[in-house]
Structure 1
């Protein structure tokens, strides 16, 4: 061999040797991180009230001690050092999702929903839960407990301006909305993040999880799983369902990223896995109700749900502003499922105005489901702006709005009235705008209505034919030995895909006993591979090919499931056999104008029509500003902050009274705009000396957001003429 050949081979063998040593060391450290994950998992599981909150807390109420017990608790969050709380600001209450994982994700980091709310001076509370439900616990029991929690928070903040702002993450969002529909007097603004409310909605080729109930024949499998669990539904099954949506990440990417960056990635991996692996259970009654009434029945969006005391759960009864935050990158709760309930409940924009409901939506362009309430960048932008402008959201007139955020720049006009680094505008939208996002389909509704019929039939057969046998088997095991029954349940739990990895790498595995010492020796002798080693690039190429293969499998699987679902449940024969009438009308009732809603609208119109000519200079100013803002452009935070500054200077109106005034003047303009404008001079005559000052307030507030539109300019001129009269 020539000298040149030897010189070429030597570096290549050196690179192979270097990479091999590094890969072996990384593998040992990788296994040790998985061991640490299992150790932390069982330590966390042994806690009395496990959670992953990044803040200190004080337990205020424990619903396990209530007359109607439930496994929930209410805690006050201790603000971090250096954070000042304003006792007059409304409190925030964060409800975390109970969908397989434990509580705490809403306050996981300093930059979180809780963190940003405390930074702007709000007292924060958190609603969490214990891993095990109470025997035979129901959704009504949970609603009852949540109502007591909010009553306690309101009583502790009687001097605050406004009712508590409620944040519901994912599953907790629909629980919050149900309570708000039954007890609207307990709620200030409601923020629901990544929350499904219209469970049948979705786009073809994008949202495969909505087909699962139909592909397994309905909710009989839920009943079987709960019966096998001794009356409890293992939350690990829910986590596995989420994992299956993205097999590339579940089976490869997150582990490869840890292995490839083992020297720096372990703390972040362990921190997140502490929450993701903290599984919690639901009672059989709760899970069956959720699947039958929501996932498969989709009865919330059409006001068909009824609480235990017979109260209809109609989301149109909610009197607080509702802010729906969702993301295009969310494969668990896509925007169509987060916003579809609006199209289900209302047939026109006038219906929303008549109901007196304020609905705001914000759609992130890319963040995934967990990022909606975990990502620090989302917390520093969206959640910070929601918290900073919660009072503005609370006084928005009825209607549909989209929250539009633009970066605060050097040329931003009146920057002193902009909170944070982003400028927020709430721009008016129509029902057609929401329908363009949701893309409702009558054919899809017929398919999912057929799934509901088939599910009811299969569940009935299971309860008659199989459930007695399954429960008898459980009783037989319990009769032999109470301990053996618990052991069987525990082993079934350990064999679930969500639980097995923790058990394999736990200290129960004898191979793990020496791993910690070996990993420590590896850390002392660590020799990371150089960045320019050619095998590192080959490693990443191989990883990319694995991800591509798993993504291809996912796409093939999801496509096949969708085609099977569409073909089978779209068949007129199957729909007819399920008892679904083959007519052109919708297969489920849409609320429309119920006698109650018509009476409420007529009562509201009569009350507001009689108040058109009432009021003084304050009402005239608010009416004028609402009239100008209705000329287009939306509501800008700068205009609101300017108005608040002037309200503190010129007026003694509380925020609640101010909100009431805004709504009254909005309805006056909606009912009879010309009569409402004609009444302004008479309203000013009562306090003629304040007329010039009032007009200056209107000019300052109207111009706070910058140049007016042509229509707003025209309306301002109309107002000036009325003030001159």
Structure 2
């Protein structure tokens, strides 16, 4: 065991000088942060995009005005954009901060999409809402923006891929359920679509609504803001989730690495402190319908004209990116809407939906959007393989990423450092992540009803007095007194006590003498910091346990539940989206139509049917097979005439035909093929090359391949496929 080092006078002096210099420089960075904050808040359209942008459409000029805008991202030098590739549209979350997080760094979502050659657009917002605007007005504006993007790319091979970050994700999903024709694949990153969901002992933010007595506090906050909800309160909620970072680690990390950390710290604070505002009505809708009410997944939200918002109406593939390290939107909140909507994967297929999810092991909430380091591979792969996702047959899949270095075959078909494979999953795979039981669901249902009662009481007895008392000037004064704003303004130029800091910091920089890393006081400093972090973490865990147990005891009371009309003995979940008899009738009609088309078609239908039949045995698809199809399409003029949307429609139709009557569909293949045996052999070889691009065809897939060989009329003339595999294994040369 090493003996402790006895500090010398030189160690004491060096550390004391370094600590004093760092303190002065730390204060100067706080001063710079305050100046940056004031400069940022005076802008008409502040953002933190790392790219030049060209404004295309201002939402305030629309028939239903909203404070949103559509911008085209100008590609930086050296980036080549393919005009035939589908555009990407990134929608930023209006969750208290200003816009730009999706393009905050070169490795962010915008960066990786442009790297893959896609034109990029950005939907952001202004700090001040348009008076009277609603969530529905914003959805209407975003629909106009997507129509504009589609019109600008008439030759693109598919509709825009839309990325919705955090709260922008549910807004995108709402619009996609109302206007499905506007969307290509949808990527929702860190989006809480099922806000009640979670596991015990983790993710306590979902309990906050019930512990505060419901959404009446949201209404009070909006009234104290004279009809404006201050986004700083939303940011405060995020801060409260990690007190160790909020009160200590963030500042200590800057202080301890002051000579190298200042630029990164100021860059992040520029976004984190860009608080925006929402109309009180907008925020009330979000809390009542989504957070406390959790109504989106149950199909209980309706537009002003009575249209039900049903996520099952979405036709585009839905890609869900979440992380176990995200304490804001854990995997359960990102994925359990699937369990709310569907009873089985067959039901997902019956609605023609394709859902792909990816679960990262450790990246935090903001890392999902910024894509710095740990999450970069997911964004790279989604951007470069979005067409593969678009043509997947309906169903539920998990995106699994494997390093190229571990891939033995088809590496020449891979772009980048990872190969993406979409593996078929069932609802049991999502349930295995953990979630609420029936008792938990009843507790949250009780909290939602208590919220409705408290909100009604507030609106009846307190709201008139609060609104009469609060003036716009008073509301502005209250906003400026918010703790998050004060921490910036206290170091601002209006404070005369900070006037000395800039000159003192310049003197320190000219005479900077950092202490050596082996100075014993450095180790003591780190030890003390860790003890502070440990103490704050212990406090956080204690408060989270107390919050969870309080919620469980209060809202789990049988007396409270029965008084609210919740049946505590029922074995049914308190909420479940309605089934549609019309959909079932349309599905029956569609099945009858497909049965009639089993023998219809020709070469393309036969190849697609055979490809799907063999591919089903593998339980998924990866980018190597799709790249092989791409190259095949480019090499054969007749195949290249088929656009990506037409190819997708072809695959889906043949997939459903196989699903309805596999034997009849296979029996029809010989009639769909050309008569010439050499042409058949050439087609079979092309099919085999595509399937082998993802690796050797083995097991059940090999047996299916042999059957396809027979259907092509080649079984009697050549060594059967399985026998050739065994022969190749014995004699690889």
TM-score (norm 2): 0.95
1:573 is aligned to: 559
Distance 2:434 2:496 in 1: 53
Residue from 658, 675, 683 that aligns with 2:672: 683
Q: Deviations over 1:595-631 (max 9, x none)?
A: 2321332233223222211111111111101111100
Distance 1:410 1:232 in 2: 54
The correspondence of residues 153-168 of structure 1 with structure 2, limited to 5 A, is 153-168=149-164
2:686 is aligned to: 697
The correspondence of residues 420-569 of structure 1 with structure 2, limited to 5 A, is 420-474=416-470, 478=471, 485-486=472-473, 488-569=474-555
Alignment of 1:340 with 2:336, yes or no, is yes
Alignment of 1:668 with 2:664, yes or no, is no
The correspondence of residues 63-78 of structure 1 with structure 2, limited to 5 A, is 63-78=59-74
1:653 is aligned to: 642
The offset of 1:379, in angstroms, is: 5.3
Q: Which runs of 5+ in 1 are unaligned?
A: 1-7, 479-484
2:57 is aligned to: 61
Distance 1:171 1:410 in 2: 37
SS in 1 for 2:550: helix
Alignment of 1:219 with 2:215, yes or no, is yes
1:608 is aligned to: 594
Q: Deviations over 1:148-186 (max 9, x none)?
A: 000000000011110000000000000000000000000
8 Å Cα contact 1:168/1:174 also seen in 2: yes
Residue from 581, 584, 593 that aligns with 1:595: 581
Name whichever of 163-172 and 581-590 sits farther off.
581-590
2:174 is aligned to: 178
Over 3 Å counting, the alpha-carbon distance change for 1:580 and 1:380 in structure 2 is closer
8 Å Cα contact 1:580/1:587 also seen in 2: no
SS in 2 for 1:377: coil
Over 3 Å counting, the alpha-carbon distance change for 1:602 and 1:54 in structure 2 is same
1:94 is aligned to: 90
SS in 1 for 2:267: helix
Distance 2:374 2:413 in 1: 22
The offset of 1:583, in angstroms, is: 3.4
1:208 is aligned to: 204
1:5 is aligned to: none
Q: Deviations over 1:192-221 (max 9, x none)?
A: 000010010011100100000000100000
Over 3 Å counting, the alpha-carbon distance change for 1:410 and 1:546 in structure 2 is closer
Distance 2:582 2:312 in 1: 11
* Equivalent residue pairs, number: 707
SS in 2 for 1:199: coil
The correspondence of residues 240-389 of structure 1 with structure 2, limited to 5 A, is 240-378=236-374, 380-389=376-385
Q: Deviations over 1:326-371 (max 9, x none)?
A: 0000000000000000000001121111111000000000000000
Distance 1:599 1:170 in 2: 36
Alignment of 1:48 with 2:37, yes or no, is no
Q: Deviations over 1:683-721 (max 9, x none)?
A: 014776632221111110111011123010000001000
Alignment of 1:708 with 2:697, yes or no, is yes
1:403 is aligned to: 399
Distance 2:459 2:131 in 1: 20
Q: Deviations over 1:426-452 (max 9, x none)?
A: 000011111112434111110000001
Distance 2:164 2:513 in 1: 47
1:121 is aligned to: 117
Distance 1:141 1:690 in 2: 57
Over 3 Å counting, the alpha-carbon distance change for 1:184 and 1:717 in structure 2 is same
8 Å Cα contact 2:225/2:476 also seen in 1: no
8 Å Cα contact 2:325/2:364 also seen in 1: yes
The offset of 1:507, in angstroms, is: 1.0
The offset of 1:470, in angstroms, is: 0.3
Distance 1:310 1:689 in 2: 60
8 Å Cα contact 1:617/1:691 also seen in 2: no
Q: Deviations over 1:403-439 (max 9, x none)?
A: 0001011753121111110011000001111111243
SS in 2 for 1:724: coil
1:481 is aligned to: none
Name whichever of 603-612 and 500-509 sits farther off.
603-612
Distance 1:472 1:139 in 2: 26
The offset of 1:281, in angstroms, is: 0.9
The offset of 1:587, in angstroms, is: 4.8
Q: Which runs of 5+ in 2 are unaligned?
A: 715-733
Q: Deviations over 1:544-602 (max 9, x none)?
A: 00000000000000000101000010010111122323331335331253223213322
Distance 2:195 2:406 in 1: 44
The offset of 1:378, in angstroms, is: 4.2
Alignment of 1:103 with 2:99, yes or no, is yes
1:147 is aligned to: 143
1:239 is aligned to: 235
CA RMSD of aligned residues (A): 1.3
SS in 1 for 2:72: strand
Q: Deviations over 1:657-694 (max 9, x none)?
A: 10001001110110000000000000014776632221
Name whichever of 646-655 and 144-153 sits farther off.
646-655
Alignment of 1:639 with 2:635, yes or no, is no
